[in-house]
Structures are given as structure tokens and as C-alpha cells.
Copies of this chain bind each other. A is one copy, B any other.
């Protein structure tokens, strides 16, 4: 039985849950029996050594240190777990570990989206693991599935509900009505949204995860700035209600999709998902990733996307994996990121659209509006009209059209005299034939 000495950097919810698991004597014995490795925590880097982190009597508070840099470079460290988050000092600390031949487990989505390829190359050069299952969709094993199970698959599309806060808000809006800002305030009260919710609700968090997923799925480097990003703050209660009425659920999706030879699209935006699609059933703070491939068909992974304890479970799986590899003297094969893929801008993408237009209720208004769609070669699949006093609301679902044509249509509609406002534009997800249940 080999002992692997672990340094933990960062001790918030995830770090505390991880340290509790690794230092629980009963748990440690189980882990040793199941993994063939004895884990010994040798240091826990924090910014505030005096804060109480755990009620567990076996929690090794004496190992807390505020000097992460010294900890990472100590001679008695075999493996480093980075749970600090953000770009610096996380990046420098990970590099210090990797260049010393120490495998690293990280849950740092922001860093991996920005520097994942560089860090993976560094890990490969030094023959050690860089594992990051917990960086995307918490406890859901999507990184391992893409890296290993689907290593030979021709993946066509990955669609993920990868942000629990926004999914909680959208689910609540659909189930109980209520407008975005009211439900956001409720989520903040419950601790499910940050006081400054921008990273979640504007899709920044999901965009980092989209870049990581796209890189793994298509074997290429995906610069974060190439990820098209829209959040949920413009999703209105009326659109959520109409979506339900039309048989859809609105979800914030991270999408990575092959769109042509050597071309992919990577984007984050709210979308209408048909209720029969498995993603539509994923409610509350749960996450799910739906993968489509030429051979595998449809695959969905569903589970807890956040929370200290579930995320720590994913980190622990990575730690065991890295430790086993370390003991046997090899690294897991690094994910290939060398394929040439162009991340295309949104303009040429095709999808169906949902569109809500408030108009003055006059005879002939529908004909005027319909003319604009026709002028831009956009075909209507479905229209519903709702009276609103002197006004009317027209709800359209189109057949597939390009983003460029739709944008031009919206501009032209907004200029019509009869149009009060164009609001609630949402893309409609196409269901692959295998997705229905």
C-alpha cells in the first residue's frame, strides 16, 4: 500500500468536504481498501487560518497554513488539489506543482477555460495528471465521459444545463409564474444566487464551461472570447408562460456543436427546449449534459451541479485517479486539443426562433408583420395572437432561419409603425431523432 501526500489549496465548502472525507479515519480505511492508496493530507492553504471550517473532531486544523506557495513546493507533497478558483494565484500554484512532477486536481472552471490547453500540455510534459472533473457540472462525470468513454466517438453536439442558479430561476418562473427579478431576489434570499449575480445570470459561468466542454468534445482549443454569450436577465415571465403553453421549457444552455467540416459553434444562450426532450425535465438547481454523437446516439448525464459535498465527490474521484496513476508511474492520457477547428461566429447558424411582438390592434397588422418575415425568407411554423386592450401580442415560432436573417427581421419589425415592441426572442432547440423518451 503506497501513501500519497496531498496538499489542499483553498478550503471553502468543497475543500472542507474533501478534507473531512480524506481525514475521517473510518473513511480513510475504506478508501485505502477500495483504491489501494493511503491518503495523507500534509497541508491546507487558506487565507484566514483562524476561521472554523468543520465540526468534525478529526478535521486537521493544525495543517492550515496561509502560505500556499511554500506548501506546493514542499518536498513532502505528492499531489496538489487546487480549490482556490480564479486566475491568480491558482495558475502559478498549479504550474509550480506540475513542473515539479506533481499531479494536480482542480475545480477551477475560469482558469481551465482560459489556460486549459497550456496547463494540460505542461502536465503531459511532466508525465502527470491534470484532472478537472469538478470544473464542469459539479458531480456529473462529463469530463471523464468525454475524455475517455467517447475518445473514439464523432461527437456532433453537446448541450448542457451547467449553471444551477439560472436553472433554479427559470424552473421557478415556469412552475410558479413570477418575473425574472422577483425570482432572482428569492434565489438570493435562499443563498442560491450571489448578491452580485452577474457571473451566473449573464452566462459568464456557463461560457467557461462551454469552452471546456467544446474543447474536450471536439479535440481543439476553444478561446473563451469566441464563445457567444447571452444570459437570462432578458427572459420575461410572459415568455416562460408562453413557452410552457406551446410545449417547451426555457433553459440556459451551453452548446458546442459541429456545424460544418472543421467548424464548430460554441455558445451560451437561453433556448426553448421541447418538453419531451430529456433536458426539459431537468429542474431546480440540477445540472445535465446531453451529448449527441454519430455512433453513440443520445447520451445524457444528470446530477448535482454544485454544492460543496457533491463537488467534493467529483474531486475525490479525480484525486484517486491521479494517485493511482502516480503510484504506477504514468499519467492519464492528456485530452487531445490539437485538432483544427474554427469557432464560427453566430451569423450563419440556423435555428428555429420564438418571437413575441407587441402590436397596435388594427385590421391588417398581421399581414404587415407577416410580410416582413416573408421579405427575409423566414417561414412561420406557428402564430398565436393574444389581445391586450388596444394592443395585441403576436407570438411566432419560425421554421429554421439564419441568425443574420432573423436579426434583420427583428430590425425591420421594430421599425414598423404598427409594432410597439419586439421582445422575447428565443432560439428553439431542434430535437435529435433519438432524444424523445
A interface residues, Cβ below 8 angstroms from B? 17, 21, 30-31, 33-36, 133, 139-141, 144-145, 148-154, 219, 278, 281-284, 286, 293, 295-304, 307, 309-310, 312-314, 316-317, 319-321, 324, 328-330, 333, 336, 338-339, 434, 436-437
Q: Is the CB of B298 within 8 A of A304?
A: yes
Residue ID in chain B nearest A333 by CB atoms? B324
Q: Are B296 and A313 in contact (CB under 8 A)?
A: yes
Q: How far is the CA of A286 from the CA of B139 in the complex (A)?
A: 23
State whether A297 and B302 are in contact (beta carbons under 8 Å apart), knowing that A313-B150, A313-B152 are contacts in the complex: no
Q: Which of B296, B303, B321, B338 contacts A139 (CB 8 A)?
A: B296
CA distance A149 to B137 in the complex (A): 13
Taken together as a complex, chains A and B put the C-alpha atoms of A34 and B152 apart, in Å, by 8
Residues in B neighbouring A139, C-beta threshold 8 A: 295-297, 299
Structural contact, B324 and A310, CB atoms closer than 8 A: no
CA A296 to CA B300, docked complex, whole Å: 17
Q: Can you name the residue of chain B whose Cβ is closest to the Cβ of A314?
A: B149
- Residues on B with C-beta less than 8 A from A338 are 33
Q: Could you tell me the distance between the alpha carbons of A172 and B227 in the complex, rounded to whole angstroms?
A: 42
Task: Check B317–A151 contact: CB distance below 8 A.
Answer: yes
A321 touches B437 (CB 8 A): no
Give A21 to B283 CA distance when docked, in angstroms: 37
Find A17's partner among B149, B295, B314, B321 (CB 8 Å cutoff): B295
| Sample of 25 A–B contacts (CB below 8 Å) | A33-B338, A34-B151, A139-B297, A139-B299, A141-B145, A141-B150, A144-B144, A144-B145, A144-B149, A145-B145, A148-B317, A149-B314, A149-B317, A150-B313, A151-B316, A152-B317, A278-B281, A278-B302, A286-B437, A295-B316, A296-B303, A296-B313, A297-B303, A300-B302, A324-B333
CB closest chain-B residue, reference A302: B300
Q: Judging by beta carbons under 8 Å apart, are B333 and A330 in contact? A: no
Q: In the complex, what's the smallest C-beta–C-beta distance from A177 to chain B, in angstroms?
A: 19
With contact pairs A148-B144, A437-B281, A437-B283 given, residues A295 and B317 touching in the complex (Cβ less than 8 Å): no
Instruction: State in angstroms the CA–CA spacing of A313 and B292 once bound together.
Output: 12
Out of B36, B297, B317, which one reaches A307, CB within 8 Å?
B297
B contact residues around A324 at 8 Å (CB): 333
Q: Assess whether B302 is in contact with A302, with CB atoms less than 8 Å apart.
A: yes
The interface residues of chain B lying within 8 Å CB-to-CB of A148 are 141, 144, 317, 320-321
Determine whether the beta carbon of B295 is less than 8 Å from that of A434: no
Q: How far, in whole Å, are A339 and B36 apart by their CA atoms in the complex?
A: 12
A306 to B380: give the CA distance in the assembly, Å.
38
A259 to chain B, nearest CB (A): 18
Contacts A281-B281, A314-B149, A330-B328 given; indicate if A33 touches B299 (C-beta within 8 A): no
Residues in chain B near residue A293, CB distance under 8 A: 313
Chain B residue nearest to A141 in the complex (CB): B149
Which 4 interchain pairs have the tightest Cβ spacing? A152-B316, A141-B149, A299-B303, A283-B437
With a cutoff of 8 Å between Cβ atoms, the chain B residues found around residue A35 in the complex are 151-152, 333, 336
Contact partners of A298 in chain B: CB under 8 A? 302-304
Q: Which residues of B contact A31 (CB under 8 A)?
A: 152
A336 touches B33 (CB 8 A): yes
Name A304's contact: one of B17, B33, B297, B317 (CB within 8 Å).
B297
Residues of B with C-beta under 8 A to A152: 21, 31, 34-35, 313, 316-317, 319-320
Q: Tell whether, in the assembled complex, residue A151 and residue B437 are in contact, meaning their CB atoms are under 8 Å apart.
A: no
